[in-house]
Amino acid sequence: MSGIALIVCFVIAVVVMIVLISKLGVHPFIAIMLVSLALAVVASIKPVEIEGVVSAGIDLVKIPAIIGEGFSGIFKSIGIVIILGALIGMALEKTGAALKLADMVVRCVGYKRPELAMLIMGWIVGIPVFCDSGFVVLDPIRRAIKEKIGANPVAMAVALSCGLYTSHVFIPPTPGPIAAAGAVGVGHNLLLVIAVGAVVSIPVLIAGYLFAKTIGAKVSLKEDLADVGKSYDEIIKEHGKLPCAFLSLAPIFMPILLMALGSVVSILKLEGAFANFVLFLGNPIIALGVGVLFAVILLAETGKLGEFNLMTNETLKVVGPILFITAAGSVLGNVIAKAGFVEYMKANAHLIGTVGIFFPFVISAIIKTAQGSSTVALTTTASIMGLFTDSGSMMSALGLTSEMGAVLTVMAIAAGAMTVSHANDSYFWVVTNFSKMSPEQGYKTQTMLTFIMGIVGMATVWVASLILL
């Protein structure tokens, strides 16, 4: 089998995977595992010839071990972190802390800039909370603000969607970027991923804000929001006493603080018992564990500690598919690495190198647009890329062999994973239905918004790569 044949097999594998998920309704876990197995079997049929050098390809007998190796790797590296991050998000949502954060934003920004308030509100709440859930939780506030000051409902909806979606794909502890970071080998340094994700978010948010202001004046809703019947204050009050600002912020920012302190100790190469203790607390697993502890305190303060067991079960139901899809993606990545695909890319580095950081963006965008799920696009593409420390990975073939290169790869994948949201994406229907927009209006707003966000995000990553790599 030639290198060209391997490329063709890879493209066919991706197309088949997309068809299985988007057209035939096969669960992504099953689809990715089937494609991985099929690709491994095909790669075992004939030796691989790359630039005149014959490689053994994949030994048929070793395929089960390759699958098992790829599957288990993700659980030991990043599985716990994903679960802990999701628990924090669930606690903030159920206790009203997400509303408290939103209320703080409204009070800081004020009513004079409703779109900006929605944007920032969504971006903050979207860090721990899934964008779908975040929009449902925050949409009543949007409606109430519209009633109070007559702000444009479409502009606010687009701005809210932009804020939520930006942090959903770029910033841990949302499961998608956590899984992607783990798959490329930077799961141990989530602080760097968070920091770079926040920086990349800025141009994306600005572009989204400008688009929201522009499109809001062009799209009119047939159904007015006059049936809301609740004021902003009533919406806040109906949730009972909201938690204090500190407890609302602590589950998010305490882990970030601990990871930051751990990074400082590591950079300064401090030694001793105290330094080791700080490094221990700064580990993502421990730091997010502390975040969960503050989430439990938050539950106790709001009288919802008795619901913690139920919330944990709900979280595991949400996170379970993500973990298994990520593991399946890791299997596909391992098969690709063992099949000789990477060797072919290295042999043609003079051509592939010109693509560089754009390669993961394109793959992620194709998968996202075709099957709808940003999380699937994030996890699958990251697993295809492999570890930046592995000489046999796609990361190595593309020359992305530094930690910063790996982080920017995560950002490129994230930018692709938001390009674009349309009818096969649940978030598209959440935004359009709650905003009272027609599907046609949804394409003009949500679909165009996510296209602009993805392009601006990738442009930002490319510029950053010119400076940092």
In three-state secondary structure terms, 283 is coil
Domain limits for position 252: 3-468
- Residue 11 vs residues 5, 184, 332, 341: alpha-carbon distances, Å: 10, 21, 13, 11
- Alpha helices (H) along 217-283: 232-237, 245-268, 273-282
CA–CA separation, 3 and 395 (whole Å) = 18
Percentage of residues in the chain having pLDDT higher than 70:
90
Tokens of 320: 């379970």
∠ CA(32), CA(422), CA(224), 5° rounding? 145
Phi-psi region of 235 (alpha: psi -120 to 50; beta: other; left: phi over 0): alpha
Tokens of 1: 């089998």
CA–CA separation, 348 and 370 (whole Å) = 28
Helix H or strand E encompassing 87: helix 80-95
Name the more confident of 149 and 187: 187
Query: How big is the chain by its Cα radius of gyration, in Å?
Result: 23
Q: What is the pLDDT of residues 297-348, one digit of tens each?
A: 999 998 889 989 999 998 888 888 888 887 888 788 788 777 766 666 656 6
- Alpha helices (H) along 75-189: 80-95, 97-109, 114-125, 131-149, 153-170, 175-184
Local confidence band at 439 (pLDDT 50, 70, 90 cut-offs): confident
Burial 11-33 (b: 16+ CB within 10 A, else e): eebbeebbebbbeeeeebbebbb
Residue 51 burial by Cβ neighbours in a 10 Å radius (0-12, 13-18, 19+): exposed
Q: What is the pLDDT of residues 89-135, one digit of tens each?
A: 889 888 888 888 888 888 888 778 889 999 999 999 998 888 888 89
Asked whether the beta carbons of 177 and 169 are under 8 A apart, the reply is yes
Local confidence band at 411 (pLDDT 50, 70, 90 cut-offs): very high
Strand partners, 132: none
Q: Is the pLDDT of residue 209 over 50?
A: yes
CA–CA separation, 349 and 82 (whole Å) = 34
CA–CA separation, 6 and 337 (whole Å) = 11
Name the more confident of 22 and 187: 187
Tokens of 432: 């359009």
Q: Is the peptide bond before 81 cis (omega within 30 degrees of 0)?
A: no
Burial 336-365 (b: 16+ CB within 10 A, else e): bbbbbbbbbbbbeeeebeeebbbbbbebbb
Give Dmax (Cα) for the chain. 74
pTM over 0.85: no
Local confidence band at 47 (pLDDT 50, 70, 90 cut-offs): low
Alpha carbon of residue 302 to chain centroid? 29
Q: What is the pLDDT of residues 131-160, one digit of tens each?
A: 888 898 888 888 888 877 778 899 999 999
CA–CA separation, 425 and 431 (whole Å) = 10
Residue 78 is classified by DSSP as I
Asked whether the beta carbons of 53 and 38 are under 8 A apart, the reply is no
Tokens of 19: 């068809």
What pLDDT is stored for residue 53 in this prediction? 47
Number of domains in the chain: 1
Q: What amino acid occupies position 57?
A: G
CA–CA separation, 411 and 450 (whole Å) = 15
